[in-house]
Amino acid sequence: MKKMKAMSESKIFEVCKEYLLIIIGSIITAASINIFLVPYKIAPGGVSGIATVIYYLTNGSISVGIIMLVLNVPLFIMGIKYIGKKFIVRTLFSTVFLSVAIDVTEPLANSFIEKFLLGYDQMASYSDVLLYSIFGGFLMGLGLGMVLRSGATTGGTDLAAKIVHNFIPGFTVGQILLFIDTSVIIFAAISFGSFQLALYAIVTLYISSQVIDAILEGVNFAKAVFIISDKSDEISQKLMTTLDRGVTALKGTGMYTGNDREVLLCVVHRGQLKQLKEIVNDIDKKAFVILTDVREVLGEGFKNYTET
């Protein structure tokens, strides 16, 4: 009974943590839209980009938050079967909360802009807008990454891409999403009559996507090293004792010589890479070494599974 109660409390805690991530992520995303993107007509694709264009085409008579909600709700209803029952409530909550957060924080954002950045009636230089597109992309990626990490989405063009993919399976979801976002950026450039704004939007879109990937996949980069050598036993022992890292021997066959040999696999922190190279070079100068980036490593000596 106590065990079941403990599991129930743990589950409640996890759910609360996920919804807290959604709330914080939505507020950060709202801040990026209100402070850095909408005031300077930066529309980096997605529903927020469409909402930005409509906002200016209607002379601000309809708020960005309401426009995003109006665009998202039909997408949500059509895409329910593509979301999965587990995430329906979270996605609906994040979609609505983001729209509310954008409208609620808009007066605060306006005050921040007037005090610390440029007012709406002031002309921003190209360097200023570039700076805002960079920071806007970073904050948007940070906020959306937190929402996605909680197991929800904010609806938008990613959901639209999944719906379209169901009818056009010849294209991947990623390709459809790229096409939609590119179309939104082109639409914004034509509406605002500015090619430069389209370039700024691309910068924002790229940075936000990179930040989202970093949050979802981790930023604790490591290196995976493949070592092919006739002295694999000696190298592996030295690596294990000196670097305190595990080494795995994979069976390989040289297709040119037809000889069987072991391929060593070792994952190390970036700071240990120089020492690893020195160890291999000292033992076998003819060793063939392949280095590759590893975004995230789970297990002994690295990150615990509970930290993901």
For the chain, give the percent of residues with pLDDT over 70. 86
The β-bridge partners of 250 are 263
- Contact indicator for 54, 62 with CB cutoff of 8 Å: yes
Q: Is the pLDDT of residue 4 over 60?
A: no
Q: Are residues 213 and 231 in the same domain?
A: no
CA distance 55 to 75: 19
- Residue type at 209 in one-letter notation: S
pLDDT class for 127, splitting at 50, 70, 90? Answer: low
Between residues 104 and 117, the one the model is more confident about: 104
User: What pLDDT shows up at residue 304?
Assistant: 63
User: What pLDDT shows up at residue 121?
Assistant: 44
User: What pLDDT shows up at residue 259?
Assistant: 82
Tens of pLDDT, residues 12-33: 888 888 899 999 999 999 999 9
Angle at 247 between CA 244 and CA 251, to 5 degrees: 170
Range of the domain at 206: 2-217
User: What pLDDT shows up at residue 212?
Assistant: 86
E strands, 239-307, in order: 248-253, 260-269, 288-294
Residue with tokens 């670097």: 243
Final residue of a structural domain among 217, 237, 256: 217
CA distance 118 to 254: 64
Q: Are residues 43 and 184 in the same domain?
A: yes
In the predicted model, what is the mean pLDDT of the chain?
Answer: 84
How many domains does the chain fold into?
2
Q: Is the pLDDT of residue 198 over 90?
A: yes
Q: Are residues 213 and 226 in the same domain?
A: no
Q: Are residues 142 and 291 in the same domain?
A: no
Q: Is the pLDDT of residue 176 over 80?
A: yes
Q: Are residues 184 and 61 in the same domain?
A: yes
Residue 19 has which token pair?
């919804």
pLDDT (average), residues 47-54: 94
User: What pLDDT shows up at residue 243?
Assistant: 86
Residue with tokens 């994952």: 267
Nearest-CA neighbor of 246 among 276, 210, 208? 276
Final residue of a structural domain among 217, 249, 278: 217
CATH number of domain containing 293: 3.30.70.120
CA distance 148 to 216: 8
Final residue of a structural domain among 217, 250, 281: 217
pLDDT (average), residues 79-88: 69
